[in-house]
Amino acid sequence: MSAPRRILHVIDSLDLGGAQTFLLDLVSHHDRTRFIPEVAVMHGKGIYTKAFGDAGVSVHSLSPGKFPPFYILNFWKLMRGGNYDLLHFHLFGANLCAKPIAVMSGHPAIVVHDQCNDASRDQNPLLLAADAFWNRQSHRIIAVSESTRRYLLAHEDLDDSSVITISNGIDTERFRPAIGAQRKQARSELGMPADAFVIGGVGRLVSQKNFLLFLKVASNILKHYPEVRFAIAGTGPLEPILQAEAENLGISSQIIFLGHVSNRQSLYHALDILLITSDFEGTPMTLLEAMASGIPVVASGVDGIAEVCSDGVNSLLAHPGDSAAFEKSLLRLIQDETLRGDLASAGRQTILERYDIQRITERIERVYCDLLQKI
């Protein structure tokens, strides 16, 4: 048997984010008889560093912070000294700062993971041009949704054969519906009322996720059902703005800001509904995790969300930015326990059939094998 191939995953940071969550699940499920994964983080360490260590994956922090950019020289040293068979890049910082070094060095197996139809590329022609140029030098690009793949082909003029769609995936054994006392325990751990109806939002507190709309929707729902509680799990630069807006709307006593929640399984056990108000997405991990956990979902019908979800079958979808549509869907679910149960059951079945992390990992490993056989 040949020796396992060494894979270096390169990512901006190991702070809170869907790409980091997916990468942790991916490396945890790599077939270690064939692939030995390591992770290079561009700057800092981040909250996920320990979890990677617990998974038996070496983490290399290339710089204490973004500036000065020590990560450029340190990545070159790591790449040259590590003798890695394949380099797998995640997120913009790694793609635009580290990947060019790999390309210019002539590395024969470079994979890029594109997580989102990020509007920042449309708003910044230089960023789009740079991303497109270096993506054309890569050997394979993995898009997490068909909409992301179409975006890359249309805006970056990539060769059709170089871009493959492989969605994100999750561990369906870890994310399961609550049983027994798990719901009560989860509520207690998070400081939530034991008997309240709780609608949650999960993600980075950044403009893309549109938590300002989440708060607007919450305010209108609370006019009909003041006993309902809303919870927001996540951190980010907009946190103080969102807290101030909750105060301004007069709903701060009915909104729970949870910050970072490390036990995500328990978080979903505490929720009755997940609300996703994002303006654009790839295939959000929180969507997959909630559906696997048996939580009915109301979400923006955009991008990868619309590829996972079927309105009225395994979720309820609304047009992005349409407050009234989100409110109508939430009111339906609050009032109809049977509908909640039907969506929850269909949602978990969807994840089991199409988004289990073991299947997704095997597909990515086939991409690795295809590239490595050509070297």
> What's the CA gap between 278 and 251, in Å, rounded?
21
Q: Are residues 31 and 108 in the same domain?
A: yes
pTM: 0.93
Q: Are residues 202 and 151 in the same domain?
A: no
Is position 175 within any domain? no
| Mean pLDDT in residue range 66-93 | 95
Q: In terms of residue numbers, what domain contains 239?
A: 182-354
Is position 237 within any domain? yes
Residue 117 has pLDDT above 70, yes or no: no
Is position 176 within any domain? no
11: domain CATH number is 3.40.50.2000
Share of the chain above pLDDT 90, in %: 92
**Which own/partner pairs from 327-330 qualify as long-range (CB within 8 Å, at least 24 positions apart)?**
327/217, 327/220, 327/221, 329/298, 330/199, 330/217, 330/221, 330/273, 330/275, 330/298
Instruction: Name the residue among 243, 312, 319, 307 with its Cα closest to residue 276.
Output: 319
- Burial class from Cβ neighbours inside 10 Å (0-12, 13-18, 19+) for residue 83 reads exposed
Q: Are residues 200 and 134 in the same domain?
A: no
pLDDT in tens, 315-332: 999 999 999 999 999 999
**Band (116; pLDDT cuts 50, 70, 90):** confident
pLDDT, position 286: 97
Residue 133 has pLDDT above 80, yes or no: yes
pLDDT in tens, 336-368: 999 999 999 999 999 999 999 999 999 999 999
Q: Are residues 293 and 318 in the same domain?
A: yes
pLDDT in tens, 18-68: 999 999 999 999 999 999 999 999 999 899 999 999 999 999 999 999 889
pLDDT, position 1: 59
**Band (124; pLDDT cuts 50, 70, 90):** confident
- Return mean pLDDT, the chain: 95
Q: Are 370 and 164 in contact (CB under 8 A)?
A: no
Q: Are residues 326 and 204 in the same domain?
A: yes
Is position 67 within any domain? yes
Q: Are residues 256 and 119 in the same domain?
A: no
Is position 221 within any domain? yes
Q: Name beta bridge partners: 37.
A: 7
pLDDT, position 121: 75
Q: Are residues 155 and 186 in the same domain?
A: no
Phi, psi of 274 (to 5 degrees): -105, 130
pLDDT, position 203: 95
Q: Are residues 214 and 362 in the same domain?
A: no
Q: Are residues 13 and 62 in the same domain?
A: yes
pLDDT in tens, 155-210: 999 999 999 999 999 999 999 999 999 999 999 999 999 999 999 999 999 999 99
pLDDT, position 87: 98
Q: Are 294 and 269 in contact (CB under 8 A)?
A: no
User: Cβ neighbours of residue 304 under 8 Å, at least 6 residues apart?
Assistant: 144, 145, 146, 147, 148, 167, 168, 281, 282, 283, 284
Is position 174 within any domain? no
pLDDT, position 120: 62
Q: Are residues 245 and 281 in the same domain?
A: yes
Is position 177 within any domain? no
pLDDT in tens, 231-278: 999 999 999 999 999 999 999 999 999 999 999 999 999 999 999 999
Number of domains in the chain: 2
Residue 118 has pLDDT above 90, yes or no: no
Q: Are residues 158 and 222 in the same domain?
A: no
Is position 32 within any domain? yes
Residue 141 has pLDDT above 90, yes or no: yes
Q: Are residues 242 and 337 in the same domain?
A: yes
DSSP type of residue 253: G
Structure tokens at 311: 């309105």
pLDDT, position 123: 78
